Chain A
Amino acid sequence: MIIITIKRSLWFALQSFWRNIWLSLATIFIISLTFLSINFLVIINAISDSAITAVKNKIDVSIYFKQDIRESKVAEIKSHLETLTQVKEIVYISPDENLRVFKERRQDDQIIQEVLKELEGNPLSSTLIIKAKNLSDYPEILKAIDNPAYTDLIDKKSYDDHQTVIANINTITNNIKKGALVISLMFVIIAALIVFNTVRIAIFTHQQEIGIMKLVGATNGFIRSPFILENVFSGIMACLVAISVIYFILSLVQPHLANFFNGVDLNLIGYFNKNFIFVFGSQLLGIIVLNIISSSLALGKYLKV
């Protein structure tokens, strides 16, 4: 009995969908725009997240040792620092390695190349590069390095926290997000109004049918469900349209992303693939709830059952 009723509601809903195809298409169009603007928000989120992650990855503390410090001593300090819980990893760079990198980097600088040639032996020393688990762990690590036992060994240390870069990224993306949020909200409101009106028009065009349904003992639920289902159906279609459009656009944009965000590893398609169910599922759920609410409001208002 319930299954029969659901099947009939579905059938009535589909019929009505086709009979008012232009209205249905307009509804789908607006709901798709809603989806797209919301997903624009999602994309901005993904971009700012990976940009910030990339910058955070660049943050580290480098310790440059004095020239005459033996490697074994540096190794000792390294293993001592590694016992700190805040430390994620420590990379040891030998004097030779440092020299090689330095030479490579200054390849085109004739003067430096010549000076290096004149010098006997390696003027560079060992370096330790320390990465913390969290940004907030660096002060603790810096304190540990300031240990008086080390002061004589260390030539200099550098710590660049990139705070301003992160702050900039945050400001920019927050502004974009605010704009996208306002646009999304507008589309949500428009979508709700359209659904509301779709149902209202549907009720007017079906008034005779509804009257007869009531007369022969149809329940409110039976009278309502085709209208609500019809809009839920539009929501699902719009979701499919939005998904196709988003993947199409991403496939065009993806190859240029790496260039644009110089070196930042940003795989938006991968991001959407990974979060597909969550991203689109929650949006579909949202639009279905929105549909049910505005359909019910319209029905309650214009269908005195």
Chain B
Amino acid sequence: MIHLINVTKTFEPKTVALKNINLHIEPGEFISIVGQSGSGKTTIARLLIAEIRPDKGKIVVGGWNITGIKHRQIPLLRRQIGVVFQDFKLLPKKTVFENVAFALQVSGVPKSRINKIVPQVLKIVDLGDKLNRYPQQLSGGEKQRVAIARALIHRPKILLADEPTGNLDAINSKEIIDLLLKINEFGTTVVLVSHDKEIVNGLKKRVVTLENGEISQDQKVGKYVI
């Protein structure tokens, strides 16, 4: 599903964020990427959605070589990868429903279809009764669930979550992780970037550990060891 082959990324003037990374993720996998701050986790995420390009190496997503992807094709790529961030990235002046519908509007989906599938997806994240709330009327966990709903609305093959629990307490974090596991069970490949030792250890899934831009460990049923 995702292949990073000999990927190197340097930020000017001389920060080597990723050094010769080789990472292969199978369809349907649930993989956690862990590592200290500045180890290059977010850089991998940004490479996958073509926000930045590698200096060296090759990136293939869903059979599509996106290494030198054309500007015009980036939107197509992003509709295939759902993304979730620590800071939710919701629009404060739009309701829960509108925040999710927004993702469909930008790709020209008819209103009738939007009205049908947005409530469905919001039900999956257990927000079926809060369609008309504004983000500020939601808890952190609920906000992140809105963001997940938005990420899922295009039925992506990959869900990329960069520290989705970074701003949440333990209970809310657990809810979000359970939701990610549920999504993974439906067949979506989940890439979770996390700092949280307990969460990662509790998953009993594959863990890739980054150290200074290099993969130091890759365990099938991993533990957060740092």
Check if A209 sits within 8 Å of B71, measured CB to CB: no
Is B115 close to A, CB under 8 A? no
Is A216 close to B, CB under 8 A? yes
Q: A215-B83, A217-B79 are in contact. Are A222 and B89 (CB under 8 A)?
A: no
Is B14 close to A, CB under 8 A? no
**Distance between A213 CB and nearest chain B CB, rounded to angstroms:** 5
**Cβ-neighbour of A217 out of B78, B90, B111 (below 8 A):** B78
Residues of A within 8 A of B71 (CB): 220, 305
Most buried by A among B49, B105, B110, B150: B105
Nearest-neighbor residue (CB-CB) of A5 within chain B: B108
Fill in one digit per residue for B145-170: 1 if any A CB lies within 8 Å of its CB, else 0.
00000100010000000000000000
Check if B75 sits within 8 Å of A219, measured CB to CB: yes
**Cβ-neighbour of B108 out of A4, A208, A220 (below 8 A):** A4
Q: A209-B91, A212-B91 are in contact. Are A217 and B106 (CB under 8 A)?
A: yes
Residues of B within 8 A of A4 (CB): 108-111
Check if B89 sits within 8 Å of A217, measured CB to CB: no
Check if A212 sits within 8 Å of B89, measured CB to CB: yes
Residues of A within 8 A of B49 (CB): 215
**Cβ-neighbour of A218 out of B72, B91, B107 (below 8 A):** B107
**Distance between B118 CB and nearest chain A CB, rounded to angstroms:** 13
How many B residues touch A, CB cutoff 8 Å? 23
Check if B72 sits within 8 Å of A212, measured CB to CB: no
**Distance between A46 CB and nearest chain B CB, rounded to angstroms:** 48
Is A1 close to B, CB under 8 A? yes
**Distance between A19 CB and nearest chain B CB, rounded to angstroms:** 10
Is A58 close to B, CB under 8 A? no
Nearest-neighbor residue (CB-CB) of B100 within chain A: A216
Residues of A within 8 A of B79 (CB): 216-217
Is A70 close to B, CB under 8 A? no
Q: A208-B91, A209-B91 are in contact. Are A216 and B110 (CB under 8 A)?
A: no
Most buried by B among A4, A208, A216, A218: A216
Is A211 close to B, CB under 8 A? yes
Residues of B within 8 A of A208 (CB): 89, 91
A8 to B150 alpha-carbon distance, docked (Å): 19
**Distance between A206 CB and nearest chain B CB, rounded to angstroms:** 10
**Cβ-neighbour of A220 out of B72, B107, B109 (below 8 A):** B72
A220 to B106 alpha-carbon distance, docked (Å): 10
**Distance between B24 CB and nearest chain A CB, rounded to angstroms:** 25
Is A133 close to B, CB under 8 A? no
Is B103 close to A, CB under 8 A? yes
Fill in one digit per residue for A1-19: 1 if any B CB lies within 8 Å of its CB, else 0.
1101100100000000000
A284 to B221 alpha-carbon distance, docked (Å): 67
**Distance between A158 CB and nearest chain B CB, rounded to angstroms:** 76
**Distance between B73 CB and nearest chain A CB, rounded to angstroms:** 10
Is B76 close to A, CB under 8 A? yes
Is B134 close to A, CB under 8 A? no
Which 9 pairs between the two chains have the least Cβ-Cβ distance? A218-B106, A216-B103, A217-B78, A217-B79, A1-B108, A217-B75, A5-B108, A219-B75, A4-B108
**Footprint of A on B, CB under 8 Å?**
49, 71-72, 75-79, 83, 89-91, 102-103, 105-111, 150, 154
**Footprint of B on A, CB under 8 Å?**
1-2, 4-5, 8, 208-209, 211-220, 222, 305
Task: List 8 contacting pairs A-B, 8 Å CB cutoff, sorted by A.
Answer: A208-B91, A214-B75, A215-B49, A215-B89, A216-B106, A217-B77, A217-B154, A219-B107
- 9 A-B pairs besides A4-B109, A220-B71 with CB distance below 8 A are A1-B108, A4-B110, A4-B111, A214-B75, A216-B102, A216-B107, A218-B75, A219-B75, A220-B72
